[in-house]
């Protein structure tokens, strides 16, 4: 059995623990493990006709090479956000741009190209029997695309946002929340000293779970998430009340990077400040800081945690889940189960079809976990819920 392993999307603490366990257990079973560098881009940029290409994009993994990697964050294999099924012209490797292979297999859709045929050629040239894919929505989505092309694939959910459908937990989530809570509490020092309103911007472009759980555990005054657009005037009134009620005269707001003001309010207070992808160049945290400051006349600061949430060593939970997701993935290979993603559901390790994962989305259950009127976490009942409430 020859197993390929790759990591796609953003890096996250716990990925290396997963890679190590895949290699260790596979070696014990007599399986060979090959690492694919830089996610799906490794298979896209691999040129089977160029021996030097293998050195650049492929690495043989053994127990000695991975022996200590679980002690560090990030990913030994590096990563990218390339999706070979949805490529811009500039993302196509030079050796493919004008080749007959590209002209024969390039499928034009939405101005982009699908080079899955070349990926299949790379998989065949490398002699891979199965690929374990560690990643988030986009990476897992392309794994499903390959599964439909008869490639044996197993997905492992990884994302700081914890937004992969079908799993209560994704590698990286625990460390992201732990770091967020720590930094929010540390920021209270300066906020209280200067009697400020502080906005802390966290990861979460399409779902607010990381922000909501961090806000809940850190006890912030307000939490703004993508699922519920907010009115800046109402928010301004709330935080003035929060600040006045605090003996140290400060207020704390947690905001997801994907949070949005109510449409007309964004235009009114921030203008049409969008980049080509429709995102605010300054970031929603900074735009909210400017708006709240203008509305209240108060000293407002914004701190983006960003990469601080995902850098450094994993916490114990991400180590445990990384180890156990890897164990389960290799178990599934041994029993001949493919086209699935490993998952945690209500505290139980399980798996579900990749097609089910890629055809659904995961968002915060507003009715159970959030108060959209007051912009606060609100756990109406935890009876019968899993540890992370999702």
Q: Give the residue numbers marked as catalytic.
A: 161
The residue to which tokens 């921030």 are assigned = 270
DSSP 8-state code for residue 87: B
Question: Under 8 Å CB-to-CB from 163, ≥6 apart: which residues?
Answer: 136, 137, 170, 204, 206, 207, 209, 361, 362, 363
Residue-level length of the chain: 390
CA dist., res. 85 & res. 239, Å (int): 45
- On whether the CB atoms of residues 113 and 87 are closer than 8 A, the answer is yes
Strands (E), the chain: 2-7, 32-36, 58-61, 107-109, 112-114, 130-135, 153-157, 197-202, 222-224, 251-256, 300-304, 340-345, 348-353, 370-371, 376-377
- Nearest in space to 155 (alpha carbons), one of 343, 29, 348: 343
Query: What is the C-alpha separation between 240 and 141, in angstroms, rounded?
Result: 44
Residue 348, token pair as written in the block: 């139980």
- What is the Cα–Cα distance from 303 to 294, expressed in whole angstroms? 18
CB contact at 8 A, 203 and 210: yes
Q: How many CB atoms lie within 10 A of CB 64?
A: 9
Cβ neighbours of residue 28 closer than 8 Å, sequence gap 6 or more? none
CA distance linking residue 226 with residue 257, whole number of Å = 8
Dist CA 77 CA 156 (whole Å): 15
């Amino acid at each position: 059995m020859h197993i390929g392993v790759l990591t796609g999307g953003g890096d996250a603490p716990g990925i290396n623990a997963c890679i190590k366990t895949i290699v260790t257990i596979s070696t014990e079973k007599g399986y060979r493990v090959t690492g694919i560098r830089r996610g799906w881009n490794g298979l896209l940029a691999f040129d089977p006709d160029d021996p030097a290409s293998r050195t650049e994009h492929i690495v043989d993994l053994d127990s000695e090479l991975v022996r200590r990697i679980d002690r560090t964050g990030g990913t030994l294999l590096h990563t990218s956000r390339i999706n070979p099924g949805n490529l811009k012209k500039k993302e196509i490797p030079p050796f493919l741009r004008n080749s007959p292979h590209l002209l024969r297999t390039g499928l034009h859709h939405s101005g982009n190209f699908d080079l899955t045929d070349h990926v299949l050629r790379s998989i065949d040239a490398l002699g891979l029997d199965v690929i374990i894919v560690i990643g988030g929505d986009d990476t897992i989505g392309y794994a499903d695309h390959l599964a439909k092309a008869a490639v044996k694939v197993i997905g492992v959910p990884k994302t700081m946002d914890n937004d992969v459908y079908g799993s209560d937990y994704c590698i990286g989530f625990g460390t992201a929340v732990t770091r967020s809570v720590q930094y929010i509490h540390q920021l209270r020092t300066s906020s209280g000293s200067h009697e400020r309103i502080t906005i802390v911007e966290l990861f979460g472009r399409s779902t607010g779970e990381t922000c909501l759980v961090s806000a809940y555990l850190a006890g912030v005054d307000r939490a703004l998430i993508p699922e519920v657009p907010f009115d800046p005037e109402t928010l301004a009134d709330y935080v003035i009340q929060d600040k006045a009620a605090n003996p140290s005269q400060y207020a704390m707001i947690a905001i997801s990077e994907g949070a949005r003001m109510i449409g007309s309010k964004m235009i009114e207070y921030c203008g049409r400040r969008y980049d080509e992808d429709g995102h605010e160049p300054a970031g929603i945290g900074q735009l909210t800081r400017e708006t709240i400051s203008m509305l209240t006349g108060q000293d407002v600061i914004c701190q983006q945690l960003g990469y601080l949430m995902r850098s450094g060593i994993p916490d114990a939970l991400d180590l445990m889940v990384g180890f156990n997701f890897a164990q389960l993935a290799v178990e599934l290979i041994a029993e001949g189960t493919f086209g699935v993603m490993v998952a945690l559901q209500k505290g139980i390790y399980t798996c579900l079809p990749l097609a089910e994962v890629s055809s659904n989305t995961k968002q915060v259950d507003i009715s159970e976990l959030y108060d959209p009127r007051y912009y606060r976490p609100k756990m109406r009942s935890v009876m019968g819920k899993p540890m992370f409430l999702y």
